[in-house]
Amino acid sequence: MRSKYLIIIAGPTAVGKTDTAIRLAKHFGTEIINADSRQVYREMKTGTALPSAIQLAQVKHHLVGHRSIHQHYNASLFELEAIGILENLFAEKNVVVMAGGSGMYIKAVCHGIDDIPSVDPQIRERFQREYLEKGLPGIQSRLLSADPVYYNKADLNNPNRILKALEITEMTGRPYSSFLTGHAKSRNFFPVRIGLNVPRVELHANINRRVDSMMTEGLLDEARKLYPHRELNALNTVGYKELFDFLENRCSLDEAVQKIKDHTRQYARRQLTWFRKLEDTKWFLPHEDESILNFIHENMSRNEHP
């Protein structure tokens, strides 16, 4: 029985992950699993750069636009769904491609995620109100008091992570850090990690073009439709938050668009920081197909048994 391989295409937003994943999936005659935490939502098509109809027609994609913004979703649920899909695909194929920029989602599939209980909606609502009233410094201070261990290793600029830690701690009476065992789950496939990147000037130009294209394709209209639901966690996302500010007369449209570009560049930098910490990731330019394929086949050769 041949080994199974999950080819992971990771990297910053707007670098060209989808097109590279499609070319690889075609080469191996396989399918793609999306690993973007916002592209799972069907209502956020334009603002999350969902694969186009042409791209979706070339190769079958999984976990794209299959959830509503009104449904609770997280890395644990993604792990369950993705592993189920992989089991079915690996019954027929030796290779599957996963592409996306959500490091936590990719980690959940490769190594598993700690079994953390679901949060009581009332507790979540209470902490959301506290965040709205006191802002990021307020919940940062609360986290330092409630769980200093997690505070010292958390991304303190990510309110979602802080709120989750506070919610779990409040609900269980245990520090959130106590649930983070870090024990990897066994998998029946070998991950082959490929990172895509381009020079910073080129990446920033790609981001600017993408944002301009999103605006041309109707991102403002999409934001208007979603505005009544702006308090949902799914919509705490670059592209929507800035346009919500415009709709509330907090800034001009030009200012909102510029903020989207600035914040997207900042997000891309955080993505690169995450993926560069993974020592088993090999980095390529998006169109270095021959070198990428050579790297994949080298990994396969090392893991195959005679």
**Per-residue pLDDT tens for 101-141?**
999 899 999 998 776 777 777 888 889 889 999 999 999 99
Residue 248 is encoded by which pair of tokens? 């509330």
Same domain, 283 and 136: no
Distances (CA, A) of 245 to 40, 128, 230, 238: 24, 18, 11, 12
Lowest mean pLDDT among 25-39, 56-70, 168-182: 168-182
Question: Does residue 306 have a pLDDT over 70?
Answer: no
Same domain, 207 and 255: yes
Same domain, 266 and 284: yes
Distances (CA, A) of 231 to 88, 177, 244: 36, 27, 11
**159, 179, 199 — which closes off a domain?**
179
Same domain, 138 and 236: no
Same domain, 128 and 75: no
**129, 153, 179 — which closes off a domain?**
179
**162, 179, 196 — which closes off a domain?**
179
Question: Does residue 184 have a pLDDT over 60?
Answer: yes
**Which CATH number belongs to the domain containing residue 168 in this structure?**
1.10.20.140
pLDDT in tens, 16-40: 999 999 999 999 999 999 999 999 9
Same domain, 34 and 92: yes
Cβ contact 245:256 at 8 Å: yes
Average pLDDT rounded to a whole number, residues 186-203: 96
Same domain, 216 and 96: yes
Confidence class of residue 180 from pLDDT cuts 50, 70 and 90?
Answer: confident
**Which CATH number belongs to the domain containing residue 293 in this structure?**
3.40.50.300
Average pLDDT rounded to a whole number, residues 281-306: 91
pTM of the model: 0.82
pLDDT in tens, 217-229: 999 999 999 999 9
Same domain, 49 and 158: no
Same domain, 108 and 224: yes
Q: What is the 8-class DSSP label of residue 103?
A: H
What totals of helices (H) and strands (E) does the chain contain, helices first?
Answer: 12, 6
Overall domain count for the chain: 2
Same domain, 209 and 292: yes
Lowest mean pLDDT among 6-10, 56-60, 61-65, 183-187: 183-187
How distant is the alpha carbon of residue 169 from its chain centre? 24
pLDDT computed for residue 1 by the predictor: 60
pLDDT computed for residue 112 by the predictor: 87
Average pLDDT rounded to a whole number, residues 150-169: 91
Same domain, 190 and 286: yes
Confidence class of residue 305 from pLDDT cuts 50, 70 and 90?
Answer: low
Residue 134 sits in which domain range?
121-179
pLDDT computed for residue 215 by the predictor: 98
Chain mean pLDDT for the chain: 93
